[in-house]
Amino acid sequence: MHHFNWTSIPVSLHVLWQGAIVTFEITAFAIVVGIVWGTILALLRLSGSRLLSGFAAVYVTLFRSIPLVMVLLWFFLIVPQFLQSVLGLSPNIDIRFASAMIAFALFEAAYYSEIIRAGVQSVARGQAQAASALGMTYLQSMRLVVLPQAFKAMVPLLLTQGIVLFQDTSLVYVIGLADFFRTATNVGDRDGTTVEMVLFAGACYFVVCVVASTLVKRMQKRYAR
């Protein structure tokens, strides 16, 4: 039987909080950039241009067909060298955090794109036709008429994808970035309480996801009314 020792958790809360900040920063950045870039991809895919639509389709298919952990490793191996050569950064600077944020944002954009594209297509065509009759361009009708209605219906789905993204941030463990999960396991290895720290980290992820899921369900009921 394993004898649990939880004493290392209270004294390590400040260290764990620093790791949690990294996790929340990656999540927030990936959500914001992912939604913005995903919206652009969705509009490109719905456009009448075969070139633009084809580019968006290839992008979405590519990122949705590759495991996230592989994308993280690619960006960890490629982006640091690229940034160092372009910006002239010192090789001693740890830019794993930047590479992780870029990888998550570009990866999640593919999923947000499909959610947004479905939301745009759910808006009645008459809305866009009415905007065109008023003299609006394609971009104006999307920005002022279609997208506001689509996003109102898509908010629960976008937030649900954000919860999945929050869970996936633990994969930065493979590139050695000190997020919440990595920090918890480091503390466990240091104090010989790996089992306790992994259980504690899992409980924290569980609480955050349950609270976020509850808020999403309330929003769904609100929009349904």
pLDDT in tens, 156-177: 888 889 999 999 999 998 888 8
Question: Would you tell me how many other CB atoms lie within 10 Å of the CB of residue 25?
Answer: 15
Instruction: Give the whole-number percent of the chain exceeding pLDDT 70.
Output: 91
Q: What is the pTM of this model?
A: 0.86
78-82, 112-116, 124-128: segment of lowest average pLDDT: 78-82
φ and ψ at residue 192, rounded to 5 degrees: 70, 30
User: Residue 40: what residue type?
Assistant: I
Position 86 scores a pLDDT of 66
- On the question of pLDDT at 60 being above 90, the answer is yes
Position 141 scores a pLDDT of 80
The CATH number corresponding to 26-172 among 1.10.3720.10, 3.30.1330.10, 3.30.565.10, 2.30.29.30 equals 1.10.3720.10
State the average pLDDT over residues 44-60: 90
Q: How far apart are the first and last CA of the chain?
A: 52
Position 40 scores a pLDDT of 92
State the average pLDDT over residues 103-117: 92
Higher pLDDT, 218 or 225: 218
- On the question of pLDDT at 20 being above 90, the answer is yes
Closest CA to 100 of 178, 37, 3: 178
- Report the C-alpha gap between 118 and 45 in whole angstroms: 11
- On the question of pLDDT at 220 being above 80, the answer is no
Q: Which two tokens stand for residue 65?
A: 């067909």
Position 26 scores a pLDDT of 93
* Cβ proximity of 216 and 160 under 8 Å: yes
- Report the C-alpha gap between 188 and 196 in whole angstroms: 7
